[in-house]
Amino acid sequence: MFVRLGAAIAAITLVSGAALAEGKLTDPQIAHIAYTAGSIDIAAAKQAQTKATNKDVKAFADDMVRDHEAVNKQALDLVKKLNVTPEDNDTSKALSKAAADKLAELSKLSGAAYDKAYVANEVAYHKTVNGALETQLIPSASNAELKSLLQTGLKIFQGHEQHAEHVAAELK
Amino acid sequence: MQPGRLRLMIAALAFGAIAVPAQAATVRIVMENLVISPAEASAKVGDTIELVNKDVLTHTATARNGDFDVMMPPKKTATYVLEKPGSVDYYCRFHPNMKATLKIEP
């Protein structure tokens, strides 16, 4: 699992790097990446709501659905207000592909093994996304409101990362 | 400053301090960008705490000792009347990094 996870992260990093190499990410691309990243975590959390057995893991999944839906709603409201159409791109595609693989992999697990794998992936996933926000998405964003929303998002997702780490530590 | 005037000011301040607590007060606590402020607030039993949620996320003010558990939907304000004295540590159940203390005097 960890090897595959590593590969997925490497793929994301590689593609992000490629996208960057082509030039700066545009706001429509950034909005798409941020929204996609949120949707991915919502899908993972919804799977966890049906599969998780540990109560802390279930509660964490509820938190993820609640927060990421709230942030994604803000993002949708903002792109509407700014009259921006989110634009699909290689980073979004790589994220979606890696997430679909991970979801399929997790679907085969159950019980405590599932709980552990889900939470471990949440730690890794939030780390990756937070890193991307900090080093690529936020610095590349041109619109001040988009930048501000991404910064708020980063703060929220850093909290998620710590929360996930805490839950992971409790599972051991 | 003349000593006389200073005494008058102290007298006025003292009078103010005595006169105010006769009525229950409202203590405002703000949750914004996943931070509770002030991190430490003081109040008295009977006072109302006004919990202002400026975030787009739902927050809670949950006492570690179980005395209260108030939920604030996004961009909403909730109020709660303090019933028991004590120094209460509270946090947000959904975002456990958000922590603060409320000192409630009898």
In a domain, B16, yes or no: no
pLDDT over 50 (residue A57): yes
Q: Which residues on B lie below 8 Å from A66 (Cβ)? A: 57-58, 94
In a domain, B65, yes or no: yes
Digit-coded pLDDT (tens) for A117-136: 999 999 999 999 999 999 99
Tokens of A12: 């994301």
Which of B91, B94, B98 to mutate: most A Cβ within 10 Å?
Answer: B94
- Tell me, what's the pLDDT at A18? 46
> Which of A146, A159, A148 has the alpha carbon at shortest distance from A76?
A146
Q: Does A97 touch chain B (CB under 8 A)?
A: no
Which pTM does this prediction carry?
0.80
- Tell me, what's the pLDDT at A31? 96
In a domain, B81, yes or no: yes
- Tell me, what's the pLDDT at B102? 97
Digit-coded pLDDT (tens) for B40-82: 999 999 999 999 999 999 999 999 999 999 999 999 999 999 9
Output the domain CATH number for residue B55: 2.60.40.420
Digit-coded pLDDT (tens) for A5-42: 455 555 555 454 444 444 589 999 999 999 999 999 99
The number of domains in chain B is 1
Q: How far apart are CA A60 and CA A55, in angstroms?
A: 8
Domain of B95, in residue numbers? 24-105
In a domain, B3, yes or no: no
CA A82 to chain centre: 23
Tokens of A107: 């679907």
Tokens of A92: 């979004």
In a domain, B9, yes or no: no
Q: Among all chains, which residue has been given the structure tokens 């939030």?
A: A126
- Tell me, what's the pLDDT at B23? 77
- Tell me, what's the pLDDT at A172? 80
pLDDT over 60 (residue A143): yes
If you average pLDDT over residues B16-38, what whole number do you get?
A: 80
In a domain, B77, yes or no: yes
Structural domains of chain A in order of their starting residue, each with its CATH number: 2-20+30-171 (1.20.1260.10)
Q: Does A145 touch chain B (CB under 8 A)?
A: no
Q: Which residues on A lie below 8 Å from B34 (Cβ)? A: 155-156, 159
In a domain, B12, yes or no: no
Query: Which of A13-22, A42-51, A158-167, B85-94 has the lowest average pLDDT?
Result: A13-22
Reported ipTM: 0.75
In a domain, B54, yes or no: yes
What b-and-e string marks burial along A101-119, b requiring 16 or more CB atoms within 10 Å of the CB?
ebeeebeeeeeeebbbbbb
Angle between helices A55-82 and A144-171 (to 10 degrees): 170
pLDDT over 50 (residue A1): no
- Tell me, what's the pLDDT at B39? 97
